[in-house]
Amino acid sequence: MFDDRVVIVTGAARGLGRDYARFFASDGARVVLADVHRLDGALRDASADGARCIAVQTDITKRDSVAALMEETLSQFGKLDILVNNAGIWRGLYDSRLLDCSDDLWDAAWAVNVTGTLRCSQAAVPLMTDNGFGRIVNVSSLASQSGASPYGLTKNAIEQMTKGLAREVGGVGITVNCVAPGITMFEAAKDSLPDAEAQVADYTVKRIGTSRDLYHAIAYLCSPSAEWITGQTLRVDGGASAR
Ligand SMILES: NC(=O)c1ccc[n+]([C@@H]2O[C@H](COP(=O)([O-])OP(=O)(O)OC[C@H]3O[C@@H](n4cnc5c(N)ncnc54)[C@H](O)[C@@H]3O)[C@@H](O)[C@H]2O)c1
């Protein structure tokens, strides 16, 4: 589906981002894996079937680091078509409350989830504008709907940012959308979400989500079929937000 497309996935060292990178690669894309942590294992996974992928260690909160990510993408692949702003902080933050959230946690959450998403988008848009085509997919969360927690507030900001960016780039062939996952499980999340089974008992579709469930939504938003969809948040959560 993505032959000839060049895709950046942030937060690709582990978790959902690592899977998205692998799935894009197996759908024909050339993938740039970006993360503040080492990406050796994720790069091996994504390249396993012979796809052309590179890894660029990137701190999305730092403007210089994001600029270097874009430069490396251009120098290796000559263009950028798709940016998936997946990197985010939720561990340790997910259950925190407004009244006792530490300054460090609050600042880190806004720096990564909100500022990082914006910085990557700001840096990607000129490349996509040159290209005459672009798809940006941001990542929110079910938590944006279920009360104003510190985590939920950052994800709410991402949903609003999605609308604002979409309006600003609408005339140049770029769409900006967002997916808002419900609880999505993979091996590394098990320790951080010990009560996941209990939580999804209340979902409309009574199972934990998978990285494939989310990838299908992201891939659709990046496909030609979604050309007329922009500024939207697609809730991929087993109907949890419809309760
Ligand atoms: N797992 C879920 O159930 C779930 C549900 C809703 C939303 N989400 C969202 O999906 C995204 C991925 O979640 P996950 O569960 O895979 O998380 P994760 O913690 O397993 O992975 C997040 C990745 O982001 C990277 N990252 C953190 N700070 C960074 C920075 N400054 N620069 C670059 N990379 C950085 C981390 O190193 C990590 O590899 C997040 O935005 C999260 O909020 C996840």
Q: What are the residue ranges of helices labelled H in the chain?
A: 15-26, 40-47, 63-77, 103-109, 117-131, 150-169, 196-200, 211-221
CATH number given to 6-242? 3.40.50.720
Is residue 188 scored above 60 in pLDDT?
no
Ligand 1 atom nearest residue 186's Cα = 1
84 burial class (0-12, 13-18, 19+ CB within 10 angstroms)? buried
List, for residues 10-39, the tens digit of each pLDDT value: 999 999 999 999 999 999 999 999 999 999
DSSP state of 31: E
| Distance between Cα 171 and ligand 1 center (Å) | 31
Name the residue type at position 93: L
Q: How far is the CA of 169 from the centre of ligand 1 (A)?
A: 26
Contacts of 232 (CB under 8 A, 6+ apart): 162, 177, 178
pTM of the predicted structure, to 2 decimals: 0.97
Band of residue 147 on the pLDDT scale cut at 50, 70, 90: low
* Contact of 32 with 54, CB cutoff 8 Å: yes
Q: Whose C-alpha lies nearest to ligand 1, atom 18?
A: 15
| 134 C-alpha to ligand 1 centroid (Å) | 23
Model confidence at 77: pLDDT above 80: yes
pLDDT at 129: 97
Q: Is the CB of 139 under 6 A from ligand 1?
A: yes
Q: Is the Cβ–Cβ distance between 84 and 139 less than 8 Å? A: yes
Strand partners, 180: 235
